[in-house]
Chain A
């Protein structure tokens, strides 16, 4: 039984809470209730032949990390950088946050989620932006918490990654 702490990071209103709800209980709600502090949820799944529990820390959306939310990241195995595809600013924020987080947690695996893919026509991020990131070795997924598109796959991808990382860490240790 493997337990991983995974944080959801990103600007406010990008859909972090909605993604967790979609993934954990297949619920979607159009109302926007901003998260205060942190909400923890969990789901079990199989990854690379292991039973895995993802403990999901849904953090309040922030454009700059405070010392507290930095503390919330402590001990995480991986994280999801969430971007609202219809907001260019949330994309830039994500890139900046990624710099800070990667510096403090070099071993943590992460995926980038470009959310609200159901609103494709309003998108401000181009597919080329995502391609460019993938070329840098990032794993980027277009998701929609509303329709559920791509959500399961994104979490599964991260879970697989985490199991691999854990296995290699045990071998080197």
Chain B
């Protein structure tokens, strides 16, 4: 077979090589490239991005084919590593959910803004300026500023270890124990989550100690806790959440690889500071008992009462001393109520003594507030003995009657007149001794017979005649007055006397 002519097949091959030898090599190479997976992957990878770009632009086919693959991939990821999956979503989902909630909150806040718009005050102007400056809504600012609360401390806590990464406080004295607080908070949180069988994903959100509460916001790698005094608005939680998300965004690696080195987190301070909201502690604390003003008020009240009490005692004593300087009045008991204003006085009083109420004049005391009890007694005071005698004489005199005959105004027998004159002189004498001025009314009357005018004239003349006689008998003219008694009961032919006395003027 060796010396025979080359077969036509061999000839053909040679011819081919001569004609297209170069191409043949290339063809061989191409076949190798198609068969070699390594090589093909490498090449495909070079054109794939561009191919995807083109396909995505020209039709939706690729998207539709890719969808199930991507979905399945995500599902597997979520199943296999739920923590990792939620870590990835955390910074995304937070803002998304908040945006939805925010839009519904907006309606509420807008309503609030409208209500508040009416109330115009310096404060509201400040808040409006702040709203303009910060780009927040007015209502939101009001929520943050109007409530009485203050964030006193903010803790950034590494979630797994409970170690305090960063801490801000309004009071440096509190900084020392912050590390312990953060650890205990983590322990408490674990305890609650473990003991109360909460649904997974639920969190311990607040711990309350009277006025102080601790708000806890959880993230995948770190917790943010705020110690709040007073009652904070719920918008504080949004602020905490936003800042915790920022911390996760900026420090995710450091948090994940945390090995105890807290010095890598100094930049998180700005986010903690953003949570230190609320008014100054003073204004929150002042909700407690305002001792100073209270004390001042109490002191003023006390001083007022002391003065009133002194003043009231003063005028009461004035009245009492007036009473006891009065003849015929003996005070046996007197009392003033503790608060003043009502009084009680009891004692003995001679019926001739002054009416006690008349002594109240000028004291400012209200007689209605004074309970008085006076037992009557006859005073041994000499002035009262004489007064009693005076009154006796008045009674005697009123019984003295000088009778006249019909139509006459002169008495034949003057003996009765002389008796009367003596009695009158005694009366006036006694009155003078008791410091009084005596008066005698000489009352003439007539019988009803005859004309009235004549009777009146007769009555007057009878009184006039008696008066003249009395004057002649040493009775001072000034003490005597004349009267004509024309009343029906007095219709007799006679003259009577009415004696009375009055205190001497200028006494």
Give the distance in Å from the alpha carbon of A42 to the alpha carbon of B323 in the complex.
84
Question: How many A-B pairs fall under 8 Å by CB?
Answer: 75
> Is B191 an interface position by the 8 A CB rule?
yes
The digit string for A149-167, where 1 denotes a CB below 8 A from any CB of B, is 0000000000000100110
> Is B24 an interface position by the 8 A CB rule?
no
> Is A103 an interface position by the 8 A CB rule?
no
Q: A3-B164, A5-B162, A55-B162 are in contact. Are A72 and B260 (CB under 8 A)?
A: no
> Is B347 an interface position by the 8 A CB rule?
no
| Chain A binder among B75-83, B178-186, B305-313 | B178-186
B191 and A3 form a contact (CB under 8 A): no
A57 and B260 form a contact (CB under 8 A): no
> Is B381 an interface position by the 8 A CB rule?
no
> Is A28 an interface position by the 8 A CB rule?
no
> Is B261 an interface position by the 8 A CB rule?
yes
Residues of B within 8 Å of A165, CB to CB, are 259
Residues of B within 8 Å of A72, CB to CB, are 187, 190
Give the distance in Å from the alpha carbon of A75 to the alpha carbon of B190 in the complex.
13
B191 and A37 form a contact (CB under 8 A): yes
Give the distance in Å from the alpha carbon of A101 to the alpha carbon of B194 in the complex.
19
> Is A170 an interface position by the 8 A CB rule?
yes
> Is B413 an interface position by the 8 A CB rule?
no
Please report which residues of chain B, range 288-319, place their CB below 8 angstroms from some CB of chain A when the two chains form the complex: none
B184 and A68 form a contact (CB under 8 A): no
B187 and A4 form a contact (CB under 8 A): no
Give the distance in Å from the alpha carbon of A16 to the alpha carbon of B148 in the complex.
44
Give the distance in Å from the alpha carbon of A41 to the alpha carbon of B177 in the complex.
10
For A40, give its contact among B158, B180, B260, B262 (CB under 8 Å).
Answer: B180
Chain B residue total in the interface (Cβ 8 A):
22
A42 and B187 form a contact (CB under 8 A): no
Residues of B within 8 Å of A57, CB to CB, are 162, 183, 187
Give the distance in Å from the alpha carbon of A78 to the alpha carbon of B90 in the complex.
30
Residues of B within 8 Å of A4, CB to CB, are 163, 260
Question: In chain A, what residue has the closest Cβ to B258?
Answer: A75
What is the minimal beta-carbon distance from B500 to any residue of chain A, in angstroms? 103
B187 and A77 form a contact (CB under 8 A): no
What is the minimal beta-carbon distance from B413 to any residue of chain A, in angstroms? 129
B163 and A5 form a contact (CB under 8 A): yes
What is the minimal beta-carbon distance from A6 to any residue of chain B, in angstroms? 10
> Is A38 an interface position by the 8 A CB rule?
yes
Q: A68-B195, A71-B194 are in contact. Are A2 and B187 (CB under 8 A)?
A: no
Question: In chain A, what residue has the closest Cβ to B264?
Answer: A1
> Is B263 an interface position by the 8 A CB rule?
yes
For A3, A68, A162, the residue with the greatest tally of chain B CB atoms inside 10 Å of its CB is A3
> Is B161 an interface position by the 8 A CB rule?
yes
Residues of A within 8 Å of B190, CB to CB, are 68, 71-72, 74
> Is A173 an interface position by the 8 A CB rule?
yes
Give the distance in Å from the alpha carbon of A113 to the alpha carbon of B409 in the complex.
147
The digit string for A72-110, where 1 denotes a CB below 8 A from any CB of B, is 101111000000000000000000000000000000000
Question: In chain A, what residue has the closest Cβ to B253?
Answer: A173
> Is A169 an interface position by the 8 A CB rule?
yes
What is the minimal beta-carbon distance from B427 to any residue of chain A, in angstroms? 108
Residues of A within 8 Å of B164, CB to CB, are 3
Q: A55-B163, A71-B190 are in contact. Are A1 and B179 (CB under 8 A)?
A: no
Give the distance in Å from the alpha carbon of A37 to the alpha carbon of B189 in the complex.
12
Residues of A within 8 Å of B163, CB to CB, are 3-5, 55, 75
Give the distance in Å from the alpha carbon of A2 to the alpha carbon of B165 in the complex.
10
What is the minimal beta-carbon distance from A46 to any residue of chain B, in angstroms? 15
For A37, give its contact among B161, B162, B183, B187 (CB under 8 Å).
Answer: B187
> Is B257 an interface position by the 8 A CB rule?
yes
> Is B405 an interface position by the 8 A CB rule?
no
A2 and B261 form a contact (CB under 8 A): yes
> Is B160 an interface position by the 8 A CB rule?
yes
A42 and B179 form a contact (CB under 8 A): yes
Give the distance in Å from the alpha carbon of A40 to the alpha carbon of B191 in the complex.
14
Residues of B within 8 Å of A173, CB to CB, are 257
Give the distance in Å from the alpha carbon of A169 to the alpha carbon of B256 in the complex.
12
What is the minimal beta-carbon distance from B165 to any residue of chain A, in angstroms? 8
Give the distance in Å from the alpha carbon of A37 to the alpha carbon of B384 in the complex.
98
> Is A53 an interface position by the 8 A CB rule?
yes
For A41, give its contact among B159, B161, B180 (CB under 8 Å).
Answer: B180
Question: In chain B, what residue has the closest Cβ to A107?
Answer: B259
What is the minimal beta-carbon distance from A7 to any residue of chain B, in angstroms? 11
Give the distance in Å from the alpha carbon of A72 to the alpha carbon of B163 in the complex.
12
A77 and B179 form a contact (CB under 8 A): no
Give the distance in Å from the alpha carbon of A136 to the alpha carbon of B214 in the complex.
46
Question: In chain B, what residue has the closest Cβ to A170?
Answer: B259
**Complex A-B: 27 CB contacts under 8 Å:** A1-B261, A2-B262, A3-B164, A3-B260, A3-B261, A5-B161, A5-B183, A38-B187, A40-B187, A55-B163, A57-B162, A57-B187, A68-B191, A68-B195, A71-B194, A74-B190, A75-B158, A75-B159, A75-B161, A75-B162, A75-B163, A76-B161, A77-B259, A165-B259, A166-B260, A170-B259, A170-B261
Which residue numbers of B lie inside 8 Å of A, CB to CB? Answer: 158-164, 179-180, 183-184, 187, 190-191, 194-195, 257, 259-263
Known pairs A2-B261, A3-B261, A166-B259 / 13 extra A-B pairs, C-beta < 8 Å: A2-B260, A4-B260, A5-B163, A40-B184, A40-B187, A53-B179, A55-B162, A55-B179, A55-B183, A72-B190, A76-B161, A77-B260, A165-B259
